[in-house]
């Protein structure tokens, strides 16, 4: 490994931007670590060991960088689009259509989610290698913390989509056959990883795109919210909200497109954690191809896009949306064969992309809006009242959406005196629906709050069968892992 690095003349990782480091090490890591790790899933988990790697900071940093590619490549853009199809707002086209019908997955989508499972577990495996081999050296603590954050993030996706899953850690990498752990056991690992990550990660990223203390705390807040541990969720989210981030002010649709989500933004004042992309072959954000329509010319100068996940102007959620809210303008009404009311998202735009695979927009995972709205809901639930602080957190997000300064009271503000706790939580849920379109959050929120059946019936007029709430354990896992019996261990209905 050292010879290869020296031969190709890699600069010291800490001396170049993280996005640049990803570009430099991706080929090396994917050729060595990806291949080694994937093979290790079946054969020898310690192909890469402390004897021949993990001896220098540059080596450990390169190994941590190798955790990101399985997430960045095609996983997260396709994964987020898949989740959006299942929301009460959006619809899938073509092979994505069954996701919007809520009757379970067809063969095409079972294959799709198998790819998600494999990629999340590859991310886990690459994180386990760092945790197993770098934990004993004090100098590598921050890298181990970053690996723990990414492992926790991956398991949080796995447990919410599949329920209890095999818990693969640095302690059992040599074991091929692992039964499904309970959801509680998965969450115990997630909380342990995030607690450690939050205590060890720096407050400021050493390079754009690296995980920080605040990324770990935001994820920790969301996990606590998922677990109905509201006081702890509010505490973590409030710490992040008070950490110096600020919402980007806007006055137009274009401000949202280019000053918050634009292809040339390295990092905004509201970004807590984002996956980084660049306008280079193999480094672009694929979600723009999924979301855009060629006629808008928002992807490449000539226009391209699959418009695979779209909206509809007759959906009650859209009809109820105040036209003064600038976020509503991030939908273009385009008739591409499904009727004149079809909506196509304009949230992600890169007319300068070279082709469909080279959009430079980063993919937001956590923004200040997340921390503010988690705090608003969690504090109201914990205190059983709508405090001024909870309402102010919501109003900051709401004001910005109407073009007002986020921190100054405005005529669009809500008044806490007008809302019961239950009505306020509904208000927060609605605001999240407006704020996080195409960020993959809505489906999980509907399941978590118990409002899924009512809101999907309201938005799409469709019932949801019980089996659609979880995805099936993939064939790739049941064929490989003899501790999972597909006859008795599979999720219901598959």
Sorted by where each starts, the structural domains of the chain and their CATH numbers stand as 56-201+466-493 (1.25.40.890), 230-276+366-463 (1.25.40), 277-345 (no CATH)
Helix axes 442-449, 213-226, angle to 10 degrees: 40
Q: Is 91 helix (H, G, I), strand (E, B) or coil?
A: strand
Is this prediction's pTM over 0.85?
yes
pLDDT digits over 52-89, tens only?
789 999 999 999 999 999 999 879 999 999 999 999 99
Band of residue 22 on the pLDDT scale cut at 50, 70, 90: very low
Return the pLDDT at 51.
Answer: 56
Calpha distance 35→50 (Å, rounded):
18
Encode pLDDT of 23-39 as tens digits: 333 333 433 333 333 33
By three-state DSSP, how is residue 149 classified? helix
Cβ(272)–Cβ(325) below 8 Å: no
Partners of 91 in the beta sheet? 310
Pair 270, 260: CB distance under 8 Å: yes
SS3 state of residue 95: helix
Give the mean pLDDT of 232-244.
98
Q: For residues 392 and 89, what is the distance between their CA atoms, to the nearest angstrom?
A: 26
pLDDT(150) > 80? yes
Mean pLDDT, the chain, integer: 90
CA distance 216 to 56: 25
- Report yes or no: 378 and 371 within 8 Å, Cβ to Cβ: no
Q: Which residues of 74-89 are buried (b: 16+ CB within 10 A; e: fewer)?
A: ebbbbbbbbbbbbbbb
Question: Order of strands across the sheet with 331-333?
Answer: 91-92, 309-312, 342-345, 331-333
pLDDT digits (tens, 9 = 90+) for 412-469: 999 999 999 999 999 999 999 999 999 999 999 999 999 999 999 999 999 999 999 9
What does R_g of the chain's alpha carbons equal in angstroms? 22
Summarize the confidence of residues 278-290 as an average pLDDT: 95
């Amino acid at each position: 490994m050292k010879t290869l690095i020296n031969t190709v003349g890699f600069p010291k990782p800490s001396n170049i931007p993280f996005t640049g480091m990803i570009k430099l090490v991706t080929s090396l890591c994917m050729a060595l670590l990806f291949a080694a790790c994937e093979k290790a899933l079946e054969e020898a988990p310690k192909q890469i060991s402390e004897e021949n790697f993990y001896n220098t900071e540059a080596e450990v940093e390169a190994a941590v960088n190798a955790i990101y590619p399985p997430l960045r490549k095609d996983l997260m853009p396709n994964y987020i689009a898949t989740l959006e199809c299942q929301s009460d707002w959006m619809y899938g086209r073509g092979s994505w259509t069954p996701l919007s019908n809520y009757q379970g997955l067809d063969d095409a989508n079972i294959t799709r989610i198998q790819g998600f499972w494999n990629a999340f577990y590859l991310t886990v495996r690459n994180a386990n290698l760092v945790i197993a081999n770098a934990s004993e050296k004090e100098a590598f603590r921050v890298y181990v913390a970053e690996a723990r954050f990414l492992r926790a993030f991956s398991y949080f996706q796995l447990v919410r989509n599949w329920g209890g899953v095999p818990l693969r850690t640095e302690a059992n990498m040599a074991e091929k056959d692992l039964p499904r752990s309970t959801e509680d056991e998965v969450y115990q690992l997630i909380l342990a990883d995030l607690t450690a990550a939050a205590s060890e990660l720096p407050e400021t990223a050493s390079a754009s795109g690296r995980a920080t203390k605040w990324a770990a705390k935001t994820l920790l807040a969301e996990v606590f919210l998922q677990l109905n541990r509201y006081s702890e969720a509010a505490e973590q989210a409030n710490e992040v909200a008070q950490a110096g981030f600020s919402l980007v002010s806007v006055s137009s649709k274009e401000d949202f497109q280019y000053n918050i989500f634009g292809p040339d933004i390295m990092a905004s004042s509201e970004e807590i954690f984002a996956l980084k992309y660049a306008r280079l072959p193999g480094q672009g954000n694929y979600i723009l191809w999924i979301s855009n329509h060629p006629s808008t010319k928002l992807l490449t100068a000539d226009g391209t896009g699959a418009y695979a996940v779209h909206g509809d102007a007759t959906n009650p959620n859209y009809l109820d949306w105040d036209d003064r809210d600038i976020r509503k303008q991030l939908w273009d009404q385009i008739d591409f064969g499904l009727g004149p009311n079809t909506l196509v998202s304009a949230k992600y735009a890169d007319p300068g992309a070279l082709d469909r695979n080279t959009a430079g927009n980063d993919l937001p995972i956590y923004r200040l809006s997340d921390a503010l709205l988690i705090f608003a809901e969690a504090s109201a639930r914990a205190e059983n009242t709508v405090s001024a602080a909870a309402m102010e957190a919501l109003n900051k997000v709401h004001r910005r959406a109407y073009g007002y300064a986020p921190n100054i009271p405005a005529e669009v503000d809500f008044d806490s005196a007008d809302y019961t706790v239950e009505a306020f939580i509904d208000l927060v849920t609605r605001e999240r629906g407006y704020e996080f379109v195409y960020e993959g959050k809505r489906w999980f929120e509907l399941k978590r709050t118990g409002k899924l059946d009512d809101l999907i019936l309201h938005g799409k007029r469709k019932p949801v069968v019980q089996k659609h709430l979880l995805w099936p354990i993939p064939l790739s896992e049941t064929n490989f892992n003899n501790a999972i019996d597909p006859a008795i261990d599979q999720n219901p209905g598959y």
